[in-house]
């Protein structure tokens, strides 16, 4: 039976996610949006690339949640994007209402789906989706760590002049200024980056990773990143749809792991057909524990602002 992916929000991130999912031949795709014509037009355009790219699954644009019924994976991208001068937190009041409505409809029509939340601020929005739907915690996941880690790996590869795929690096914590690019664990084909770069160089890369989204927003002026966020969400969806047990950094609900309970926070997880099948917990240094607490405090503040 063909797999089915619904992508809610046909803006830059959602349409790009549909593009990546189609190129990877992951299954039938429904691109859903409240604006009439936009998802239909983009889906039609994308479907016509099938003969060239070689994918053979159906791509459908819709304004009706009935068309999303029985999706295996739902990627929630709907919401306002950042613009220069805005923080992710500035989006919270607007996007919480959007995510609440979209998540409720998504789970109503696809009660067994894995729900991947991309809308910013991600840690608060995945918490919102979890609370309003009552969906199992392992089936509600936030996309952030895959994106942040990709940025971290890219900057390290550029600094070292090596292939990005040979850089292993992990970002934990909140998707925001208090994210934690893990210096201690980062390496190039097993060689620690601390043996290859100076502390000053590493500090600069860590800071650039933490502000990587803002750097793109400031360039674009009218929106935020979409190529890699779209791909990051699809990489997570692919792990679910293929049950490949990928280890990816995602915003998962913690119940004591890393000394944190009751919050969605970026941690390494095993992703498979059941969603988050395991959280890979490891011992943090005292300095890392302090940094993680800053993420917890920031997420707690966001959660309180949702009113849920």
Residues 173, 250: Cα–Cα separation, whole Å: 9
Among the options 19, 109, 135, 175, which is catalytic? 175
Contact status, residue 9 vs residue 33, Cβ threshold 8 Å? yes
CB of 275 closer than 8 Å to CB of 240: yes
Q: In what order do the strands lie in the sheet with 191-192?
A: 167-168, 187-188, 191-192
- Cα–Cα distance, 308 to 304 (Å, whole number): 7
Q: Do residues 164 and 154 make contact, with C-beta atoms less than 8 angstroms apart?
A: yes
Whether 135 sits among the annotated catalytic residues: the reply is: no
By annotation, the residues acting in catalysis are 175
């Amino acid at each position: 039976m063909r797999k089915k992916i619904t992508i809610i929000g046909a803006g830059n991130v959602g349409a790009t996610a549909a593009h990546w999912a189609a190129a990877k031949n992951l299954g039938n795709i429904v691109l859903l949006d409240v604006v009439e014509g936009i998802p239909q037009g983009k889906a039609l355009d994308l479907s016509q690339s099938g003969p060239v790219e070689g994918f053979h699954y159906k791509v459908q644009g819709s304004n009706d949640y009935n068309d999303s019924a029985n999706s295996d994976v739902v990627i929630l991208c709907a919401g306002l994007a950042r613009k220069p001068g805005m923080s992710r937190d500035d989006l919270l009041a607007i996007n919480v209402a959007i995510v609440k409505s979209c998540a409720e409809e998504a789970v109503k029509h696809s009660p067994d789906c894995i729900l991947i939340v991309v809308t910013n601020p991600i840690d608060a929005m995945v918490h919102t989706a979890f609370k309003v739907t009552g969906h199992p915690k392992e089936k509600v996941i936030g996309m952030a760590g895959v994106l942040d880690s990709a940025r971290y790996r890219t900057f390290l590869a550029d600094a070292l002049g090596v292939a990005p795929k040979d850089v292993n690096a992990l970002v934990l914590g909140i998707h925001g200024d208090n994210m934690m690019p893990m210096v201690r664990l980062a390496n190039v084909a097993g060689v620690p980056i601390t043996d290859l770069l100076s502390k000053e160089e590493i500090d600069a890369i860590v800071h650039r990773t933490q502000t990587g989204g803002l750097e793109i927003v400031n360039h674009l002026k009218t929106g935020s990143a979409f190529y890699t966020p779209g791909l990051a969400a699809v990489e997570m969806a692919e792990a679910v749809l293929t049950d490949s047990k990928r280890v990816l950094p995602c915003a998962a609900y913690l119940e004591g792991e890393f000394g944190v309970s009751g919050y969605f926070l970026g941690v390494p997880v095993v992703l498979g057909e059941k969603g988050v099948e395991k959280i890979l917990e490891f011992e943090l240094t005292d300095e890392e524990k302090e940094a993680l607490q800053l993420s917890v405090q920031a997420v707690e503040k966001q959660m309180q602002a949702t009113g849920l």
